[in-house]
Amino acid sequence: MAAGFDVARVRRETPGCAEVHHFNNAGAALPSEPVVRAQVEHLELEARIGGYEAARVAAPRVERTYAALAELLNAQPSEIALLENATRAWDMAFYSIPLSPVDRILTSEVEYASNYLAFLQVARRSGAVVEVVPSVATGEVDLDALERALERPTALVAITHVPTSSGLVNPAAAIGRMTRAAGVPFLLDACQSIGQLPLDVEELGCDLLAGTSRKYLRGPRGAGMLYVRSSLLESLEPPLVDLRAADWTARDEYVLRGDAKRFETWEASHAIRVALGVAVDYALELGVDATWARIQELAASLRERLAELPGVELAEQGGAPCGIVTFVVAGRQAAEIRERLAERRVNVWPIPREHSRIDMEARGLAEVVRASVHYYNDDGDVDALCEALVGLTA
């Protein structure tokens, strides 16, 4: 399988490739060696000269992390905030939107559990109404239904781009065109798409975008990021503030900072922030167009191979699915599949209904096994996964 980058080099630079056949990239991908080294080196520097002092030394590298993420998304560095995970990044955006009992939030059937829990909490507190826009037969948001829903006053459209539970890719750019035309803020959960698909906030038309470090960006665990369109920023009051988010200007006054860092906290892991920047630069160097092409090819070949296996049934959705492949195995629990495959150093992950309840209930699925490919996987990995499954179903 030809790729637009040097796969052998990438595998050499990914120590985990020599250890496991990793198909849990939608959980946490294997980091590259430069990412791990950057994180460890910063921790060592902290130990040698002190944490605050090390942060001063690393300040230009942390600034590069903002700039690299901005480059990845076609945004400005001042529109990027770094948080501890994608959920908190999404929360900071969502809980900043003022909502009252007359307000409506529109979402999709594949919304991630944590987002939906926040909807429920805010609906309970404010009286705002959450409306789930129906899907077309292949699972994507029904754009005609969304257009009709947007004819009535709407406070927010919040959509998951790629769900945790299937290879579906929601038509984010088409949704963005509609929300722009309707003048409604659009919050995109790009947790599973950042680093996997090329993302351009101008093309997507989203005003807010939340992402994570550890999945397709191959960054360290414990980091998330938020993009906030500059034109919206001034109107958003973060639900929590600290002395990084705001200046305490007089005894009874504070002034929020003018960039997206108003959503951050002062204390953070600088080692993680430095390493995230290295991961984003690594992605930019390979080129997301090239890595996305390889992810799609590998996922298509895995789907074909799985479809041929007796006892294995794909649990797929999406007209043009991404690198997340899901399936069920007759008579076996997903957790058991994970355990048995792990014995053969093949990493997959069980996804229960509760992580994407609306979609999985509609499809009558209690759980699925998720095998998510990344660009560093190869045919040998796909063979190992399929052979391990044959061993189980034979």
Ligand X SMILES: Cc1ncc(COP(=O)(O)O)c(C=O)c1O
CB of 18 to ligand X, least distance (A): 26
The secondary structure of 271-299 as a DSSP string is HHHHHHHHHHHHHHHH-HHHHHHHHHHHH
* Closest-CA residue to 186 (of 169, 204, 206): 206
Contacts to ligand X from residues 304-333, by CB under 6 A = none
Helices (H), the chain: 7-12, 33-49, 51-73, 86-94, 113-126, 143-149, 172-182, 201-204, 230-233, 270-286, 288-308, 334-342, 357-362, 379-393
In the three-class reduction of DSSP (H, G, I as helix; E, B as strand; rest coil), residue 192 is classed as coil
| Cα 71 to Cα 81: distance, rounded to the nearest angstrom | 14
CB of 164 to ligand X, least distance (A): 3
- The yes or no reply on residue 87 touching ligand X (CB under 6 A) is yes
Type of residue found at 3: A
| Cα 324 to Cα 368: distance, rounded to the nearest angstrom | 12
Cα 64 vs. chain centroid, distance in angstroms?
21
Candidates 159-167, 230-238, 251-259, 289-297 — which segment interacts with ligand X by CB under 6 A?
Answer: 159-167
CB of 87 to ligand X, least distance (A): 3
- The yes or no reply on residue 193 touching ligand X (CB under 6 A) is no
- The yes or no reply on residue 91 touching ligand X (CB under 6 A) is no
Q: Which of 112, 116, 186, 375 binds ligand X (CB under 6 A)?
A: 112
31 close to 216: Cβ distance less than 8 angstroms: no
Type of residue found at 281: D
- The yes or no reply on residue 108 touching ligand X (CB under 6 A) is no
Candidates 84-92, 302-310, 367-375, 376-384 — which segment interacts with ligand X by CB under 6 A?
Answer: 84-92
Six token digits for residue 336: 């058991």
CB of 189 to ligand X, least distance (A): 5
Nearer to ligand X, 11 or 214 (CB): 214
Which residues contact residue 308 at a Cβ distance below 8 angstroms, ignoring those fewer than 6 apart? none
CB of 158 to ligand X, least distance (A): 11
Mask: binding to ligand X, 220-259, rule CB under 6 A, as x and -?
A: ----x-----------------------------------
CB of 135 to ligand X, least distance (A): 15
Nearer to ligand X, 359 or 378 (CB): 359
- The yes or no reply on residue 25 touching ligand X (CB under 6 A) is no
- The yes or no reply on residue 24 touching ligand X (CB under 6 A) is no
Contacts to ligand X from residues 163-192, by CB under 6 A = 163-164, 189, 191-192
Residues lying near ligand X in the complex (CB under 6 A) = 85-87, 112, 114, 160, 163-164, 189, 191-192, 212, 224
